Structure 1
Amino acid sequence: MADDALPAPDSPVEERLLFLQENMVSFTTQFSMPIVEVSLVISKYIRILLESLETAASRNGEELPARLTEAWEVDVEGEAPGIDSFPLETLLGSLDEDRMDILDTLIRTILNETRLPFAPALTLLREWESMVRVQLANASSPGQLFSPIELPEGF
């Protein structure tokens, strides 16, 4: 985690989002976390946050914007190989579940302890998802799925 203390729940949302972002970047970089592992953890939290927001919106007769409910469009060069061309059982057996659990715990703890509102948190995770999807789509072999995630400068 970053050196800074956990922001209080009454801190500005931007400060809490920045704390989440900095810690995710720090962890995934420090542990050279593979694209596929980051993708699985991010998708889990997108699903959890989205289900909660959809339930609340439904209860109040509201509708969520597509920017929250749908994956963002990504530009990829060429045609991505089909998932069926990758040996799924081998891929799943190669995952480092401990590393994924740590990222999972980091995200969950920051969301819960800072009481980060779900809509901005989901938007942040959609940004990560978009970046990860591009890298996954550009993978031409199963081994490339285990390449460390590449984060743009200043991300």
Structure 2
Amino acid sequence: MSLMRKFTPVAKIHSLRLDWSIMGKMIQASVSTPCVDRFIDILFEDGVYITEFCNVKENVSSCMYTFNRFKLDFCMGTTMIPSISLAIPHYALKLFSTQKIRNYRDGLKYLVDVMGVVTDVFCQVPYENTGATETGVRVKIVDTRML
């Protein structure tokens, strides 16, 4: 996976203490049936993934399954790449079983248990000891339900 070599592990960025709350954070995701069929062979329970081309929308509708301010909208262009991460606990993403998802009707919103929604990505981070700029990636993940 050549894509993985481009990123610096979170542990090496020397950022301040990361205040991530993992368990019990739910965000609603709208996944069309063709997308569910595409992701069946990729996604597995307790996996960590890099997701590209996924829309983040305000979670305002008549059917709100979670209290998260945002919801994810997967489309045909969405890609998900499994990630081997030592910095993220393996409880970052929980999924329904494949059989359960296949039995749902079209139009239902599936729930994806995630840490939050990525709101900012910092590509250059000041090194704490010297103040010099270090090349790396720090991702800010937000879940505003508890505010």
Please give the TM-score of this superposition, normalised by the length of structure 2: 0.30
- Which structure features the higher share of strand residues? 2
Please give the TM-score of this superposition, normalised by the length of structure 1: 0.29
Structure number with the bigger relative contact order (C-alpha 8 A, sep ≥ 6) is 1
